[in-house]
Structure 1
Amino acid sequence: MTRRDLPELSKDELIRELEKLETAARRFAANAGEADRDRLIHDLHVQQVQLEMQNRELREAQERLEEVTSRYADLYDFAPVGYCTLDPEGRIQELNLTATAFFGAFRETLVGSPFASVAPLEDKRQFHAHMRRCLRENTRVTSELTFSTGRRRVTRSVRIISDPVRDPGGATTAYRTILVDISDMKALEHRLQLLSAAGEILSSSLEYAAAVASAARIAVPALADICMIDMVSESGAVEREVVRFADPKKQAALAERMMHLAPRPGWQPPQASVIASGEPVLLAEVSAEQRERLAYDDRDAETLRVADMRSLMVVPLIARGRTLGALTLASAESDRRYSSLDLQVAQDLASRIATALDNARLYDHTQRANQALRLAEAKSSGIVSISADAIISIDRDQRITLFNEGAEKVFGYAKAEVIGAPLATLIPERLRAIHHQHVATFATGHEVARKMGDRGAVIVGRRKDGVEFPADAAISKLEVDGERILTVALRDVTEQKRVEWEQTFLAEVGKELASSLEYEDMLTRVVGLVVREIADFAVLYVVEEDGEIQRLRVASRDPSNAWFGELLGDLPGDRRRHHVGQVLEAQRPILMAPPAEMLAPLAQHDEHRRWLETIRSGSMIGVPLRVGDTCLGALCLLSVQPRAYEPRDLLVADEFGRRAALFLENARLHRAARRAIQARDDVLGVVAHDLRNPLGSILMHTELLRRHGPEPERRSRKPTDAIERAANRMNRLIQDLLDITRIEAGQLAMERAAVQAGKIVTEFVEAQKLLASSASLELRLDLPEDLGEVLADRDRLLQVLENLVGNAVKFTRPGGRVTIGAAPRGDEVLLWVADSGVGIDGGDVLHLFDRFWKARKAGRQGAGLGLAIVKGIVEAHGGRVWVESQVGVGSTFYFTLPLARPAPARPAVEAHRAAGIVLVVEDDPEVRTALRETLERAGYQVTTAANGADALAYLHREAPPFLIILDLSMPIMDGWAFLSERNRDPDLRSIPVIVVSGQRDVEDRIAAARASYVPKPIQARRLIETVAHVVH
């Protein structure tokens, strides 16, 4: 017997068989012989081995069965649908894990329970009806149940499918049941039904208001409890068109309030952001805080609270690629919570609503356009025919179909000549292709009308004679009986452009010529302006003081024709033969054409004449340069063919000549004033320097007379005292003249240092007591205990006080009072000199600090320089000075000085000071010395140069300094030339430069040269601060 012959036995059966064999073996062993026993033992052993092999195979099969059973159990539990087995009474016998999700409970609690009692059914009768059908029909039964789950009782549609399970006798013992969630499928069906109904409703009317109302009715209550539609108006404002509530009470109480928006600054509703971005917004849960942010004020917040929005969607209304508005859907009493699926439905609905509203708008616009067209047609024929503007209509092929009388006048064509001709006939040839393309693009675009040339293009028309002209034009399009007609309204703006050019040119004349007062530069600017705008050649003549005509400037527009300008410059200036003589004698503009006939007699020889005839000159204008009754010269303008001057050009040239003459006269007066100032300064220098020697001699001889002269002269000191006083006054006057000159030149030397203001004022008052007592005046001192240090030149401060006290003593009657005081004020010290004198008239106060000015009623001697010097010294310190006065009461002169900065502020720049040397480039020795001393006292090392050339030689010879301080006005090489050389040299370009100058209007030019600037008169504090700033 083989293993294959053994029957298939279970484990228990195998054990029982083994026990039987063992019992039989014992009985056989007791009765059999030894041979039989051996055979029996052998057979038993073989059979035992076979049984063990079969047992092992059985165990392996059982393990595979358990594995398959486990796998099938997982498939069963995690199947995509719910499985359960119901007995005929509807009790749950078993179910998979998927099915437990429908019940929201654990499997252990569900097995054995009636389905109807544990399932969250909205209507248990649906399930009972299903079971009755199962029992009655005894075949597969399919039904739909409605489950209501979760805290918010969300409803779900569930399809239930039951198949009977029969025993071998055919009796039904149970029902295998499948549960399928069909909520999404139901929602899709609902969505398709809603969108289909929406399409039908929205397409039923083209009236805009009806379309808006229909859109709101579709959304409420199918998708929302609240619906709002906001649209962008033609002006760009967002306007609310409709508000609809599912609750009639809310509709009556809230709809009107929510129709009106009154936004506060900085507040933007979600509708506005959706319209701006084109992206939807979904708020699944609208919290109280979010509701507050949605409101634009407290009243709106209360409205939203009553509306009870719980979930919100805002989607854009987009049609033809444009955002027309926004659709807002919100849930309230239905307690619906929107999801991304709802947002998709809302976007699909919004797309249909947007299309309907866009169609309604287009229909409305079309209706209005048709009405306007009907009204316009009644008027157009008469208006078009009499319009001064050109009105031209073209068809789709851009051929002319309408050409009114205005067009005939503008273009020079008769109507019969151009009807049917291409529009390009009226366009310059070089512009025809691009113009044709622009018109074709407009014809197929969305715009119905626009101004031509609004994108920067210049509109140019072409007359019948070939002359081109500038124009303003607008184009519109209209569909008439399926035919698209384009109409252009065009106006010749030649005269308007001419007036605009004249105004712009003359305004530019003022701007250009006002930018300089240099006479030579002004001459160049005058001829440069005319050849740039109105002439091909320009010649400027000036009448000198001796009556001679001088040709000072010649210019040409085309550089290649400069030779002809030079030729014109060689013509003689004889008044009798020259055209300029006519202009100067008549003192009125003249227009000459052709100028060749006029220039020919002026030729000096035949070759000269041939050269003059080479340029095909068109015409010439000569205009006088008049200022009042004086004629300063003449300006001649020459044009080259084909250009010829017209009378209108003569008027422009004459106005230009009038304005240019004023600027030339100002420049000439400025030059004369500068020369006079220079002459005055030269005289002052001579007076100051050459008179001091004889004055010194006079004073010394006066002292000799007083000590060693004859007895009568020694006994009587009056003559010598008078001589001494006169000499001292003259010396003081010389000193004042020197000071005022230096102040005006920005070269007032000062040695500023930290000084005790209180000590200086106190010592000064002590020194002035004798002067005050001699004038029978009381001298008072008004100082606080600690006045602090000021940054000042001690001698210059005393000079200010002497001038102010001297004036106070001079204008205060005997018995009066003079008070000198000071007090700290912020970062400065305020000082004053007050008197109880006669006071100053209000009109005189305005001129007190002017040079050489004296009050009309002063009745006192003096050159009128003292207060001007006071002002110059105080401002050089960085302070200011003013006066307050009342006639009959007295005057108080105030001035300020800056407090000295504390010493600890210096270490920040020590590292920079040690880095190198400051090079001071200044031609004036006194200013150079003052700059050196100021910088050295601030801790810098200084070397100097007298002009730009010396400075460059130093830079190429020595190690470069770490800073250059540069004057502009210097001999040999001035500051501008030095800056130009420095900026061209890469090795020098990195050295910072501070320019110190008293010249006007140089800041921009200095900045362009990559330099810093400190104006003259130089204030030491500002200089040191600028140095520290630059080196940092």
Structure 2
Amino acid sequence: MATLYLIALLIGLGVGALAAFVLMGRLAAGRAELERRLRDLSVLHEASGILAASLDLDKLLDSILKLIKREFGFQHLAIRLLNERGHLEVRASIGMDRDYIEATRIIPTRSTMFGRAFLDAKPVVVRDTREAPPSSHYEMLRRFIPVTALVHIPMIHEDKPIGVLAAYSTRGPEKFTDQFVALLQALANQLALAVVNANLYKQVRSASLVMEERVRQRTAELEAANERLRELDRLKSEFLSNVSHELRTPLTSIQSFSEIFLRYDVDDLAKRRRFAEIINDEAQRLTRMINDLLDLSKIEAGKLEVNLQPVDLAKLIEKSLNSTEALFSKSSLQIERQFDKNIPMVFADPDRLVQVINNLLGNAAKFAPDGSTITVRARWRGRFALVSVTDEGPGIDPRKVKEIFDRYTQLRDPRKHQSLGTGLGLSISRDLVERLGGYIWVESSPGRGATFSFSVPLVEQ
């Protein structure tokens, strides 16, 4: 009886020990699983911190690859992102051969294992490359990396793949459990969200920089326009003051010499004639200034009309020279004509053309030294006739050449330290020439005179 009891006791102890052993095994397995899950959560948490810390795409891709290498021991890693051309381009890598990266740029995506993972939006796992089916891409990969196992994980954002996380092992066959692949998939999806955010930030930043540059340009343009408006306002004020003086001067002369005729008997015929010429000259001067003001108002209102017709240019220049002869005789100025022979007819408004030529001749007469020569040229080149007036005056300050045809810009005689005219003649001449289909310009050097030229179209044959 005692023997049976002892046997039963031993059996009970054995069963208890076995149960305890099984329980301890289960506890160890549970502990290992818990540690694995904690490790997975730790990796995901660290990855979240990395991805949230920066919007620099290159920086965060490199950081994630370093984390994966440290935690899982992969020797070769790559992240491929879909580019604008529809190719999976390597944007970050560790231990990858440059020649392999370059070679895979031209291989169709569908022909590669990473391309299949991308297109199917499912991981491609090869635990032992010796058991993998033949593949041209795999054979090419083997030429550059002695890979023994690999995994390609699609990077998915909002159910759409945007890239692939590729990991290659050279340590021999790998287990790559379902839990491990799921962890890599979670990492890849986190990475996909970070990539999208980084790209959005880059786009917003780029758009912001473009807008900032546009605002800066517009601000600079507005400042320049405001400065120009202030300058025009100043010139206009000077112009009004100058015009008041310019209008008063001929009126004063006309009034003074008229009073002499009315109050005194002037028997000297030569003196009477000289007084009459002065009154006539001042009246013409006053008329020219008033006409300039009227033309300016028409131009600014867009109501200046031109009557285009065939015109004999040489005869028109002679007419203009005759009408302005008095300007030259007072200062003993000589006129030299240099006309091409057989200049074709031009297509212009004869009255407006005379006005332009008169303005240029009058301008030359103001600045030409007494006894000097004014040269008038007429040529034709191609479809245009060219007219130029050259004086031997003091020339023009190079800083003023660009603005010489602007409104209210007065030419200044450095010898007399004063500005001459109303500042409208050249501006009106430019507007008239452009209305006639031509172009006006000036060439000058200080101390060497100035040449004003303009073109006018020929009559079409």
| Range of TM-score over shorter length | 0.5 to 0.7
State which of 404, 407, 427 in structure 2 corresponds to 1:868.
427
SS at match of 1:852: coil
Q: Once the two structures are superposed, what CA deviation does each residue of 1:186-237 show, in whole Å capped at 9, x if it has no partner?
A: xxxxxxxxxxxxxxxxxxxxxxxxxxxxxxxxxxxxxxxxxxxxxxxxxxxx
Contiguous gaps of at least 5 residues in structure 1:
1-392, 395-399, 420-434, 462-470, 516-661, 903-1032
Give yes or no for contact 1:877–1:897 (8 Å, CA) kept in 2: yes
State the shift of 1:871 in Å. Answer: 1.5
Within a 5 Å distance, the mapping from 1:80-95 to structure 2 comes to none
State the shift of 1:728 in Å. Answer: 4.1
Are residues 1:407 and 2:47 paired?
Answer: yes
Task: Decide whether aligned partners of structure 1 residues 786 and 411 sit closer, same or farther in structure 2, where only a CA change above 3 A counts.
Answer: closer
Contiguous gaps of at least 5 residues in structure 2:
1-35, 53-66, 72-116, 127-134, 139-149
Task: Decide whether aligned partners of structure 1 residues 450 and 711 sit closer, same or farther in structure 2, where only a CA change above 3 A counts.
Answer: farther
Query: 1:695 and 1:773 mapped to 2: Cα distance?
Result: 22
Query: 1:507 and 1:712 mapped to 2: Cα distance?
Result: 81
Give yes or no for contact 1:803–1:870 (8 Å, CA) kept in 2: yes
Task: Decide whether aligned partners of structure 1 residues 438 and 780 sit closer, same or farther in structure 2, where only a CA change above 3 A counts.
Answer: same
State which of 204, 219, 229 in structure 2 corresponds to 1:501.
204
Give yes or no for contact 1:702–1:723 (8 Å, CA) kept in 2: no
Give yes or no for contact 1:758–1:788 (8 Å, CA) kept in 2: no
Q: Which amino acid aligns with 1:476?
A: A
Q: Which amino acid aligns with 1:900?
A: V
Within a 5 Å distance, the mapping from 1:925-936 to structure 2 comes to none
Give yes or no for contact 1:705–1:714 (8 Å, CA) kept in 2: no
Within a 5 Å distance, the mapping from 1:282-431 to structure 2 comes to 403=43, 406-407=46-47, 409-410=49-50
Query: 2:453 and 2:260 mapped to 1: Cα distance?
Result: 42
State the shift of 1:830 in Å. Answer: 1.0
Query: 2:203 and 2:119 mapped to 1: Cα distance?
Result: 30
State the shift of 1:669 in Å. Answer: 5.3
State the shift of 1:701 in Å. Answer: 8.4
Q: Once the two structures are superposed, what CA deviation does each residue of 1:927-973 show, in whole Å capped at 9, x if it has no partner?
A: xxxxxxxxxxxxxxxxxxxxxxxxxxxxxxxxxxxxxxxxxxxxxxx
Q: Once the two structures are superposed, what CA deviation does each residue of 1:832-856 show, in whole Å capped at 9, x if it has no partner?
A: 1112222223233233222222345
SS at match of 1:751: coil
Task: Decide whether aligned partners of structure 1 residues 449 and 881 sit closer, same or farther in structure 2, where only a CA change above 3 A counts.
Answer: farther
Task: Decide whether aligned partners of structure 1 residues 669 and 770 sit closer, same or farther in structure 2, where only a CA change above 3 A counts.
Answer: closer
Which residue of structure 2 lines up, in the alignment, with residue 770 of structure 1? 326
State which of 448, 460, 475 in structure 1 corresponds to 2:165.
475
Task: Decide whether aligned partners of structure 1 residues 667 and 864 sit closer, same or farther in structure 2, where only a CA change above 3 A counts.
Answer: closer
Within a 5 Å distance, the mapping from 1:987-1026 to structure 2 comes to none
Bigger RCO of structures 1 and 2 (CA < 8 A, at least 6 apart): 2
Larger Rg: 1
Are residues 1:712 and 2:260 paired?
Answer: no
TM-score, normalised with respect to structure 1: 0.26
Which residue of structure 2 lines up, in the alignment, with residue 760 of structure 1? 316
State the shift of 1:439 in Å. Answer: 3.3
State the shift of 1:814 in Å. Answer: 1.4
Are residues 1:898 and 2:451 paired?
Answer: no
State the shift of 1:876 in Å. Answer: 1.7
Are residues 1:788 and 2:361 paired?
Answer: no
Task: Decide whether aligned partners of structure 1 residues 887 and 666 sit closer, same or farther in structure 2, where only a CA change above 3 A counts.
Answer: closer
Q: How many residues were matched structurally?
A: 314
Query: 1:813 and 1:504 mapped to 2: Cα distance?
Result: 61
Q: Once the two structures are superposed, what CA deviation does each residue of 1:325-384 show, in whole Å capped at 9, x if it has no partner?
A: xxxxxxxxxxxxxxxxxxxxxxxxxxxxxxxxxxxxxxxxxxxxxxxxxxxxxxxxxxxx
Task: Decide whether aligned partners of structure 1 residues 775 and 868 sit closer, same or farther in structure 2, where only a CA change above 3 A counts.
Answer: same
Query: 2:204 and 2:345 mapped to 1: Cα distance?
Result: 63
Are residues 1:837 and 2:393 paired?
Answer: yes
Query: 1:812 and 1:886 mapped to 2: Cα distance?
Result: 14
Give yes or no for contact 1:783–1:822 (8 Å, CA) kept in 2: yes
Query: 1:777 and 1:452 mapped to 2: Cα distance?
Result: 91
Which residue of structure 2 lines up, in the alignment, with residue 824 of structure 1? 380
Query: 1:885 and 1:437 mapped to 2: Cα distance?
Result: 72
Query: 1:451 and 1:695 mapped to 2: Cα distance?
Result: 93
Q: Which amino acid aligns with 2:324?
A: Q
Task: Decide whether aligned partners of structure 1 residues 451 and 881 sit closer, same or farther in structure 2, where only a CA change above 3 A counts.
Answer: farther
Query: 1:845 and 1:861 mapped to 2: Cα distance?
Result: 16
Query: 2:174 and 2:387 mapped to 1: Cα distance?
Result: 92
State the shift of 1:663 in Å. Answer: 8.7
Q: Which amino acid aligns with 2:377?
A: G
State which of 121, 126, 135 in structure 2 corresponds to 1:439.
121
Query: 1:752 and 1:871 mapped to 2: Cα distance?
Result: 17
Give yes or no for contact 1:705–1:720 (8 Å, CA) kept in 2: no
Task: Decide whether aligned partners of structure 1 residues 735 and 404 sit closer, same or farther in structure 2, where only a CA change above 3 A counts.
Answer: same
State which of 446, 452, 457 in structure 2 corresponds to 1:887.
446
Query: 1:401 and 1:438 mapped to 2: Cα distance?
Result: 27
Which residue of structure 2 lines up, in the alignment, with residue 743 of structure 1? 299
Q: Which amino acid aligns with 1:762?
A: E
State the shift of 1:823 in Å. Answer: 0.9
TM-score, normalised with respect to structure 2: 0.53
Query: 1:451 and 1:510 mapped to 2: Cα distance?
Result: 41
Task: Decide whether aligned partners of structure 1 residues 502 and 713 sit closer, same or farther in structure 2, where only a CA change above 3 A counts.
Answer: farther
Give yes or no for contact 1:443–1:477 (8 Å, CA) kept in 2: no
Task: Decide whether aligned partners of structure 1 residues 449 and 884 sit closer, same or farther in structure 2, where only a CA change above 3 A counts.
Answer: farther
SS at match of 2:362: helix
Query: 1:726 and 1:452 mapped to 2: Cα distance?
Result: 93
State the shift of 1:767 in Å. Answer: 3.1
Q: Once the two structures are superposed, what CA deviation does each residue of 1:1008-1028 show, in whole Å capped at 9, x if it has no partner?
A: xxxxxxxxxxxxxxxxxxxxx
Give yes or no for contact 1:698–1:727 (8 Å, CA) kept in 2: no
Give yes or no for contact 2:380–2:386 (8 Å, CA) kept in 1: yes
Which residue of structure 2 lines up, in the alignment, with residue 535 of structure 1? none
Task: Decide whether aligned partners of structure 1 residues 477 and 853 sit closer, same or farther in structure 2, where only a CA change above 3 A counts.
Answer: same
Query: 1:791 and 1:452 mapped to 2: Cα distance?
Result: 75
Within a 5 Å distance, the mapping from 1:1021-1032 to structure 2 comes to none
Task: Decide whether aligned partners of structure 1 residues 704 and 840 sit closer, same or farther in structure 2, where only a CA change above 3 A counts.
Answer: closer
Task: Decide whether aligned partners of structure 1 residues 440 and 839 sit closer, same or farther in structure 2, where only a CA change above 3 A counts.
Answer: same
State the shift of 1:504 in Å. Answer: 1.6
State the shift of 1:804 in Å. Answer: 0.8
SS at match of 1:772: helix
More helix as a share of residues:
2
